[in-house]
Amino acid sequence: MFEKTLAELAQGLESGEFSSVELTQAYLQRINEQDSRYNSYISVTEEQALEQAKAADAQRANGEAGPFTGLPIAHKDLFCTEGVRTSCGSKMLDNFISPYNATVVEKFNQAGAVTLGKTNMDEFAMGSSNESSFYGPSRNPWDTDRVPGGSSGGSAAAVAARLAPAATGTDTGGSIRQPAALTGITGIKPTYGRVSRFGMVAFASSLDQGGPMTRTAEDAAMMLNVMAGFDPKDSTSLDKAVPDFTADLNQPLQGLKIGLPKEYFGEGIDAGIAEQVQAAIKEYEAMGAEIKEISLPNTHLAIPAYYIVAPAEASSNLSRFDGVRYGYRCENPVDLEDLYKRSRGEGFGPEVQRRIMVGTYALSEGFYDAYYKKALQIRRLIQQDFANALAEVDVIMGPTTPHPSWKLGEKSADPVAMYMEDIFTISLNLAGLPGMSVPCGFSNGLPVGLQIIGNYLAESRLLNVAHMFQQATDWHTKAPEGIA
């Protein structure tokens, strides 16, 4: 049962091979028995899940089931979930029980999905390894001494360890694609605005985007069918028609033009990753694709620009956590200033504090033009690089990450080294483009991700390109040792 994809589980429910209650109970039991090894969940919503499963079975018995009815998933713990703790991996929100549902959660509820629980994450989605979580790091199922990536590391670990068939994630600078690559699963960051951010606790509002984390591109398409769509409650939501993302999965790739950025294959990339990505490109050539070298000349500026823009937005968004309205409050404050200082100092971890301070500095009088304005100008140059490239090719491909998963604690003392692991993913968030990572091999026994980048609103094309690769290869079927 746990080796079945989301699409296969949907078929099993439809055929009566098992009920949603049986499926949900099996996953809950597996989480209870095995998640101590991976720490992928912060909260497991057993009672709610079984109620939803019973309701789904009743719907199916009445002939009212849809494509997603009765399927279990997990949500990253920054999607507000009514009546359930939504912690964002932080002490600041450890006691916060959401009074409402995020739009993404509501969409899955309406589709008849079953929520198994809320997954672990870097605190307020700030991190590339899941090590900044107040609840301790999630662990990579391929090697539990290594990181699963971040910030959606809990979702990635849960899917890779078969503790959920699929999960939601969010991507501000690579936080869906990077952990997907490090754990050998499939993840897609849609076009900015394609998925509602209402009820998704904000880190950097112009960069954050929710998306699915699954075993296959087909499963990701099923998830995106539920998640995508205009939301009047989100001012950044795109009022664009949403296609059936599963409709064109099997379109042939003859004549597909693939761009390879020369900047993605230079110094600093792990030799094993480069080898596996090049092998994946050859697979596409065998399917009839045309390969062209392109240039994204401002790639090297993406990380410095991002680490001005994202902290600046974070410093603004996180100012609401002050110990007054909700969340963590220090004990026995002597006055209002003491309340603010100690609540924020005790409630936020070191990485969040670091980014708030950087962002506040960049936005301060005398430094705004030198840092924030300049970062926005670089952001425009990066957008133009992609526009120029995508005028010549259909998709862009390269490695998702420069290195495979690293040991827990290996980069914790060097934030810059950690930030550099997002070198290939961050540009897409600055540009607002869709991108996804699919498994394409192994380097030293650890998963390697192939990143596929498309034009705005081209998620269907990306999913088609990924799905056809997965029909020709079996990397997405590989499971960590000991995972039954």
Contacts of 458 (CB under 8 A, 6+ apart): 191, 395, 434
Respond yes or no: is residue 443 known to be catalytic: no
Distance CA 376, CA 379 (A): 5
Contacts of 212 (CB under 8 A, 6+ apart): 166, 167, 168, 169, 187, 188, 219, 220, 223, 224, 227
Tell me the CA end-to-end span of the chain in Å, nearest whole number.
9
In the set 20, 87, 129, 151, the catalytic residue is 151
Distance CA 168, CA 424 (A): 21
Q: Are 33 and 94 in contact (CB under 8 A)?
A: no
In the set 128, 155, 175, 460, the catalytic residue is 175
Distance CA 187, CA 182 (A): 11
Q: In terms of DSSP bridges, do strands 41-44 and 210-214 run parallel, antiparallel, or are they unpaired? A: unpaired
Respond yes or no: is residue 151 known to be catalytic: yes
Distances (CA, A) of 85 to 51, 71, 74, 91, 460: 18, 22, 14, 12, 34
At residue 90, φ and ψ (nearest 5 deg) are -125, 145
Respond yes or no: is residue 189 known to be catalytic: no
Q: Of 27, 483, 426, 368, which is closest to residue 189 (Cα–Cα)? A: 426
In the set 19, 20, 40, 76, the catalytic residue is 76
Q: Are 404 and 243 in contact (CB under 8 A)?
A: no
Peptide bond into 151 cis (omega under 30): yes
**Catalytic residue list:** 76, 151, 175
